[in-house]
Copies of this chain bind each other. A is one copy, B any other.
């Protein structure tokens, strides 16, 4: 099982039309609204999702080019192992964002705090449950002392192809 094949279950619509200037985490995209379009054949799987205020989106960094084992992440000027970062230029280009679910209309999820590029293929949705997913005293390695730069740090396109002009 060296190769795994997954299907796109939907697509992300957001105000971010190119990698440059996308907020680097959902926590700094406060109030930025987007929609997640789920393909019709998966609608049934959305039942009861509306009871959750926060959901994980798993998606494919479709514009990211290359794969680096050492990367210089947006929040630091030093190289770190890619698995110690949330960089998109990973061996498997899977992104994980925790967004705020506003409401669901048929196959459209209205979400807030989105940090995902327009047109991004969606792979999975999982409900967020603090009892499973909260570790408030976690040690945060090289991020320590860097998070005060979070608000002013944006994607600069370093991991992606240039946007078409």
CB within 8 Å of B: which residues of A?
1-9, 25-27, 42, 44-54, 56, 58, 60, 62, 69-70, 79-86, 90-92, 94, 96, 98, 121, 123-144, 147, 150
Each complex incorporates copies of this chain amounting to 2
Contact, CB under 8 Å: B7 / A125: no
Contact, CB under 8 Å: A135 / B80: no
Taken together as a complex, chains A and B put the C-alpha atoms of A129 and B44 apart, in Å, by 33
Question: Chain B's nearest CB lies how many Å from the CB of A153?
Answer: 13
Which residues of B are found within 8 Å of A98, using beta-carbon distances? 132-133, 135
Closest to A99 in B: B135
Question: Chain B's nearest CB lies how many Å from the CB of A75?
Answer: 10
Apart from A4-B121, A86-B129, 14 more pairs, CB < 8 Å:
A2-B7, A4-B5, A7-B91, A25-B131, A25-B132, A44-B81, A47-B79, A49-B81, A49-B141, A54-B138, A54-B139, A91-B124, A92-B124, A130-B134
Contact, CB under 8 Å: B6 / A4: yes
* 23 residue pairs A–B, Cβ–Cβ below 8 Å: A1-B8, A4-B121, A4-B123, A5-B6, A6-B6, A42-B83, A44-B81, A45-B69, A45-B81, A45-B91, A48-B80, A50-B141, A51-B84, A51-B142, A52-B138, A53-B135, A54-B138, A83-B124, A94-B124, A98-B133, A128-B140, A130-B137, A134-B136
B2, B9, B92, B130: which contacts A140 (Cβ < 8 A)?
A: B130
Q: A4-B5, A133-B98 are in contact. Are A139 and B52 (CB under 8 A)?
A: yes
